């Protein structure tokens, strides 16, 4: 039984070294509101987190504490029997819902809690989350999805048909996944606060490690963006993939102009070219810069937004986020819609804990839903993994399938203690200057 919810305000002072910096976010302190479901009666505790970049992380902590009351007193068996229960309990509190609805702080907090429930379920089953889900019959996976407000695009019966159709190949794909891992790209070379020299050094090092798909930040002045694209091609040549990320800074017409100017550098995708709410704006940009494809999703706050990006044909890549969406349940809905649209799922993972989370999601997509890794990559950012009990493993530019039970975001107790804001050791030192 869930007897208590603990929520911690964990922050890492990443802004010291411009890790994670981009055109919209010059000085992020990668942070998370870290939720633990304490259990009584022999079931394992569950951990979940929601990612933020510093100030306001405390709001997510408070929201976890408030929303979490809905879980207290529930048995883990109830969540096992009804995979949609946690999601319904947390998203349908009408008073909290008003503050979104299904977006912002409350949705982020719900994600941490919902993911903590999935973590406990997978741990109890002794399986990593991707395997826990991949071992479920199609009916059970569908039972986790809330089809409200998406049934016009993806009716429940159609989702079930698709999962059933793909179920036959699961064993073979699971074997391939364990053998080969899952393709990835790296963001760690191209943060906007890095100097050109730093970028070149990091690109070369990453290439030597086996990376063949890179992302760099753009959206500063256009001349600088083009210089960085040229720097990239001059350093690594034409045979590697380059994606760029503008982090929302352009208006529609600016985006079209900038993307056309960058196109000669052979851009794999352009990420967040404008407001993440602007479905019609993305569509207008996409039509004018074709065949360059757009990617978005790290700020697409729920399944209804993704539904429209996919309906409109506005994006070429679907960038789910493990905790911007309301946890595993809503991610499943979005991955199934992306599959229907034929749009590859390439998760967002620049942050803390996001790589650990999303590897499971891409693997579920491969084994259960899309059945393919073609054109699909998981983002990789090389920061802060040392704080996790079961950190990601990558080799030759691919994620190794995780094998530890759960959803992989358990933080070491010492990392929690040191980075708790504002009184942990790291912050006490930071504030002392």
Q: Report the candidate in 347, 18, 65, 365 with the shortest Cα–Cα distance to residue 192.
A: 18
Among 74, 97, 233, 241, binds a second copy (CB under 8 A): 97
Task: Provide the 10 A C-beta neighbour count for residue 403.
Answer: 11
Q: Which of 183, 181, 203 is nearest to 191 (CA)?
A: 203
Q: Of 18 and 151, which CB lies nearer to a second copy in the complex structure?
A: 151
- DSSP strands (E only) in 191-321: 213-217, 241-245, 267-271, 293-296, 317-318
* Dihedral sign from CA coordinates of 210, 212, 213, 216: positive
Whether 259 and 274 have beta carbons less than 8 Å apart is answered as no
Least Å distance between CB 151 and a second copy? 5
Q: Among 49, 60, 320, 343, which residue sits at the site for a second copy (rule: CB under 8 A)?
A: 60
Binding residue for a second copy (CB under 8 A) from 124, 202, 301, 398? 301
Which string of x and - marks every residue 1-40 that binds a second copy (by CB under 8 A)? -----------------------xxxxxx-----------
C-alpha to C-alpha distance for 16 and 11, rounded to whole angstroms = 13
Distance (Å, rounded) from C-alpha 398 to C-alpha 380? 9
Q: Which of 58, 80, 158, 420 binds a second copy (CB under 8 A)?
A: 58
Return the number of the residue (229 or 249) whose C-beta is nearest a second copy. Answer: 249
Give the Cα separation of 347 and 203 in Å (integer): 21
In degrees and rounded to multiples of 5, residue 244 shows phi and psi of -125, 155
| SS3 category, 248 | coil
Which one of the listed residues 123, 217, 380, 387 is annotated catalytic?
217
**262, 225 Cβ separation under 8 angstroms:** yes
Using the minimum distance from each CB to a second copy, give the nearer residue, 143 or 275: 275
Task: Check 123, 127, 299, 348 and give the catalytic one.
Answer: 348
**54 is a contact residue toward a second copy (CB under 8 A):** yes
Minimum Å distance from CB 412 to a second copy?
Answer: 25
Going by C-alpha positions, the residue among 120, 113, 117 that lies closest to residue 35 is 113
Interface stretch with a second copy, choices 110-118, 123-131, 269-277, 406-414 (CB under 8 A) = 269-277
Mapped onto helix, strand or coil, the DSSP state of residue 182 is strand
Q: Which residue has the tokens 């929520």?
A: 7
Q: Which of residues 381-400 bind a second copy (CB under 8 A)?
A: none
Binding mask 241-260 for a second copy (x = CB under 8 A): -------x--xxx-------
The total number of residues written for the chain in this structure: 433
Rg of the chain (C-alpha set)? 21
**Least distance (Å) between residue 401 CB and a second copy:** 30
Minimum Å gap between C-beta 305 and a second copy is 6
Number of residues this chain uses to bind a second copy (CB under 8 A): 60
**195 belongs to the binding site for a second copy (CB under 8 A):** no
**Which residues within the stretch 63-82 sit at the binding site for a second copy (CB under 8 A)?**
63, 66
For the question of residue 340 being annotated catalytic, the response is no
Residue 272 DSSP one-character state: -
* Cβ-based neighbour number of residue 381 at 10 Å: 21
Stretch that binds a second copy, among 97-105, 159-167, 365-373, 378-386 (CB under 8 A): 97-105
Strands 2-11 and 31-39: antiparallel
Give the x/- contact pattern for a second copy in 107-126, rule: CB under 8 A: xx------------------
Span 310-349, contacts to a second copy by CB under 8 A: 311-312
For residue 222, the tally of other CB atoms under 10 A from its CB is 15
Q: Does 364 bind a second copy (CB under 8 A)?
A: no
We find the least distance from the C-beta atom of residue 121 to a second copy, in angstroms, to be 27
* Percent helix, percent strand, percent coil in the chain, to nearest 5: 45, 15, 35
**Segment interacting with a second copy, rule: CB under 8 A, options 125-133, 300-308, 362-370, 398-406:** 300-308
Return d(Cα 323, Cα 108) in angstroms, integer: 6
Concerning whether 217 is annotated as a catalytic residue, the answer is yes
Q: How far does CA 355 lie from the centroid of its chain?
A: 7
Rounded least distance, CB 63 to a second copy, Å:
6
The mark string for 143-172 relative to a second copy (x by CB under 8 A, - otherwise) is: -----xxxxx--------------------
Looking at beta carbons only, is 108 or 117 nearer to a second copy? 108
Give the active site residues.
Answer: 217, 348
Q: Which residues bind a second copy (CB under 8 A)?
A: 24-29, 52-56, 58-60, 62-63, 66, 93-108, 148-152, 248, 251-253, 274-281, 284, 299, 301-302, 304-305, 307-308, 311-312
């Amino acid at each position: 039984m869930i007897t208590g919810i603990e929520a911690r305000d964990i922050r890492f002072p990443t802004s010291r070294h411009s890790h994670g910096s981009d055109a919209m976010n010059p000085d992020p302190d990668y942070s998370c509101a870290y939720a633990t479901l304490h259990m009584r009666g022999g079931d394992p505790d569950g951990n979940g987190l929601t990612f933020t970049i510093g100030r306001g992380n405390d709001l997510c902590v408070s929201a976890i504490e408030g929303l979490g009351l809905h879980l207290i007193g529930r048995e883990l068996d109830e969540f096992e029997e009804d995979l949609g229960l946690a999601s319904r309990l947390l998203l349908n509190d009408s008073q909290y819902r008003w503050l979104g609805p299904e977006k912002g702080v409350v949705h982020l907090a719900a994600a941490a809690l919902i993911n903590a429930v999935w973590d406990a379920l997978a741990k109890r089953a002794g399986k990593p989350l991707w395997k826990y889900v991949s071992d479920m019959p199609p009916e059970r996976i569908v039972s986790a999805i809330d089809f409200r407000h998406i049934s016009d695009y993806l009716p429940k019966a159609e989702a079930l048909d698709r999962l059933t159709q793909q179920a036959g190949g699961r064993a073979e794909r699971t074997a391939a996944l364990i053998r080969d891992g899952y393709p990835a790209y790296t963001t760690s070379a191209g943060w906007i606060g890095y100097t050109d020299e730093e970028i070149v050094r990091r690109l070369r090092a990453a290439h030597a490690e086996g990376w063949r798909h890179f992302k760099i930040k753009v959206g500063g002045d256009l001349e600088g963006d083009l210089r960085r694209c040229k720097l990239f091609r001059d350093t690594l040549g034409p045979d590697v993939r380059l994606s760029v990320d503008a982090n929302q800074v352009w208006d529609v017409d600016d985006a079209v102009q900038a993307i056309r100017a960058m196109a000669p550098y052979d851009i794999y995708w352009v990420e967040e070219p404008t407001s993440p709410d602007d479905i019609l704006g993305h569509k207008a940009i996409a039509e004018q810069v074709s065949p360059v494809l757009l990617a978005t999703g790290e700020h697409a706050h729920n399944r209804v937004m993704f539904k429209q990006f996919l309906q409109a044909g506005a994006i070429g890549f679907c960038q789910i986020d493990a905790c911007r969406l309301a946890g595993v349940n809503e991610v499943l809905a979005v991955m199934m819609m992306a599959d229907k649209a034929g749009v590859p799922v390439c998760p967002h993972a620049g942050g803390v804990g996001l790589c650990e989370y999303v590897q499971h999601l891409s693997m579920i997509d491969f084994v259960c839903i899309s059945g393919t890794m073609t054109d699909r990559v998981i983002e990789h950012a090389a920061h802060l993994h040392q704080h996790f009990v079961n950190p990601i493993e990558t080799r030759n530019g691919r994620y190794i399938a995780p094998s530890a039970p759960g959803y992989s975001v358990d933080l070491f107790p010492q990392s929690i203690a040191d980075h708790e804001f504002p009184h942990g050791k790291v912050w006490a030192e930071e504030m002392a200057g």
